[in-house]
Structure 1
């Protein structure tokens, strides 16, 4: 299932992203990331380059769940017991990881099989590809590992979240790194945070408390990010309770998503992964149990 990003809430009233007048805001262009009044939607926005291909939505519809139909195009066989993580690589190959087998493979589809290009005997909790095509790996350690696109070797990266342990990892559009982290003696009670690191590995921001100075996360184990700066975190609250927390760039909680009222009426909301599409919609993989 999918849900669109939430409308930003702020103290000042939102204005049209084109004319900046006080006309009522009724639309948003997902591709331009602009709020639009009726006048600009009808008369100005159509003049933008490739505007006919842009996705303009009524802001009343934003945040509402929609059904995504998935059809199997091709299937590929792997000898791994289970594929727990997968990332697309720049040369049409894939990185696939199996926590069960403790294996990470770079593979390329050929026919109905996956040709193994490289293999590492390491368990991978999460991974993400940087803009320079290096692979960052979380192994529930303080320092992220890295596989170089040039040498193909596994080394320590500059990204260290000490005194925490890394869980989730995500690369933003400006090549910064978001890391969901837990206390070093997890699963004992302790601090649970999302850390923003720059390309030098410096900690630029720590997301830990909400507007009321209360802890936000219980177990932040998957992250994605939208172009307006919103951070979406899959948070495991307990063994049978999960949610998606949406944070503004400043750290305020914008929304908390706990499942679809119809789909999850009889089935527990159990998000296994989260991703952002090119249209800036957020897709949650919900495993019914």
Structure 2
């Protein structure tokens, strides 16, 4: 998080709280929200009650607000991109602090708020997430107690259970969840739709088809590609396989992604050779009717953006996230584009992990419900967490 990374520079001034009325007692128990006063028990009952309209004031336990008054000094925050410059604003679309250079070079046209306002927004989110985490922990604790009496007594029955929940695929390459909670599972040659029923997965349909990638539409239809220029579609209702309305001919598909709004985004190249020195390499945004709405191919200087668009994801604010493979050894970068095609950021790995001898090798990109990006790296047990503008969080 931007603020937590920069808090080393922020000066948090903390002094033991005293009663604002008697200015002597440090055992604070109450706060009046109307007067903005911290009070000891004695002053609350003896002095504050004499204030005009005191009976209408809202008084809360200090445990709900903390017993240390905090004052944040944001004047010494340095910009993460330009450490020699001070951060001056908070960019709301990119969720990060920015300096004047950032604003002119990378964030032109974005909306900004004061750093203090951005800090307050972040604190509200943290408190909300904390409350949700506590609720989840309580729920899991309750569930654990309910299941504590359950034991697997028969090893043979346990092995039978494991066999029953494994579909007839040799190596699972991908799993997708449908709106009706069924699952699409595929390996190199077999695609299956399965339905969880108790402790088993019931196979509803099986297709002998080579799947290179797939995505689910909001209506539950499956879009997939097996090479070529046209996405195939399997109806979520009837299970019939047809050529879809989504075509990129004469180009070739490299990936498919469906946004929450139902728009289809595909990666394309102009040839079957994986890494072309010449030719087209692009990302195409299509609407629900299959029309090509936007083609992302060149930057503002007319230089090709991609080498091979390999994996695609999207965020709620409309940014498009692409894993671009640079060579056959899986080395690559993560490119973040705005809806209008501006390159917001290019992430090329962590300087303490990735070097010239150990290049960054992203193999997937997934958007979380909180609009963060998760990028695993090939053959390394590392996940990079990026914000919705492609900057590293952790």
- Structure-2-length-normalised TM-score: 0.56
The answer to whether the Cα contact below 8 Å between 2:190 and 2:209 also exists between their aligned partners in 1 is: yes
Higher relative contact order (CA 8 A, sep 6+): 1
**Alpha-carbon shift at residue 14 of structure 1 (Å):** 3.2
C-alpha distance in structure 2 between counterparts of 1:123 and 1:256, whole Å: 32
Structure 2: segments with no counterpart, 5+ residues = 1-92, 97-105, 131-160, 381-394
The answer to whether the Cα contact below 8 Å between 2:179 and 2:219 also exists between their aligned partners in 1 is: no
- Structure-1-length-normalised TM-score: 0.74
C-alpha distance in structure 1 between counterparts of 2:167 and 2:354, whole Å: 32
**Alpha-carbon shift at residue 51 of structure 1 (Å):** 9.8
Aligned residue in 2 for 1:162: 249
Aligned residue in 2 for 1:30: none
The answer to whether the Cα contact below 8 Å between 1:78 and 1:114 also exists between their aligned partners in 2 is: yes
Match of 2:183 among 94, 102, 123: 94
Aligned residue in 1 for 2:298: 209
**Alpha-carbon shift at residue 175 of structure 1 (Å):** 1.0
Match of 1:53 among 128, 138, 144: 128
Aligned residue in 1 for 2:289: 200
- Over 3 Å counting, the alpha-carbon distance change for 1:139 and 1:13 in structure 2 is closer
SS in 1 for 2:363: strand
- Over 3 Å counting, the alpha-carbon distance change for 1:54 and 1:249 in structure 2 is farther
Aligned residue in 2 for 1:260: 350
C-alpha distance in structure 1 between counterparts of 2:310 and 2:216, whole Å: 17
How many pairs align?
Answer: 243
Aligned residue in 1 for 2:310: 221
The higher radius of gyration belongs to 2
**Does structure 1 residue 81 correspond to structure 2 residue 170?**
yes
Question: If each structure's helix is expressed as a fraction of its own residues, which one has the higher value?
Answer: 2
**Alpha-carbon shift at residue 153 of structure 1 (Å):** 0.7
**Does structure 1 residue 177 correspond to structure 2 residue 267?**
no
C-alpha distance in structure 1 between counterparts of 2:119 and 2:326, whole Å: 42
**Does structure 1 residue 126 correspond to structure 2 residue 213?**
yes
C-alpha distance in structure 2 between counterparts of 1:87 and 1:198, whole Å: 21
Aligned-pair RMSD on alpha carbons?
2.9
Aligned residue in 1 for 2:108: 11
- How far does the alpha carbon of each residue in 1:20-71 deviate from its partner, in whole angstroms, 9 at most, with x for none? xxxx235xxxxxxxxx5456x39xx96xxx996369xxxxxxxxxxxxxxxx
The answer to whether the Cα contact below 8 Å between 1:272 and 1:287 also exists between their aligned partners in 2 is: yes
Match of 2:280 among 170, 191, 206: 191
Matches within 5 A, 1:106-121: 106-110=193-197, 114-121=201-208
Aligned residue in 2 for 1:70: none
**Alpha-carbon shift at residue 268 of structure 1 (Å):** 4.5
Question: If each structure's strand is expressed as a fraction of its own residues, which one has the higher value?
Answer: 1
Match of 2:332 among 231, 237, 242: 242
Structure 1: segments with no counterpart, 5+ residues = 17-23, 27-35, 56-73
The answer to whether the Cα contact below 8 Å between 2:172 and 2:187 also exists between their aligned partners in 1 is: yes
C-alpha distance in structure 1 between counterparts of 2:272 and 2:126, whole Å: 52
Match of 1:278 among 353, 369, 376: 369
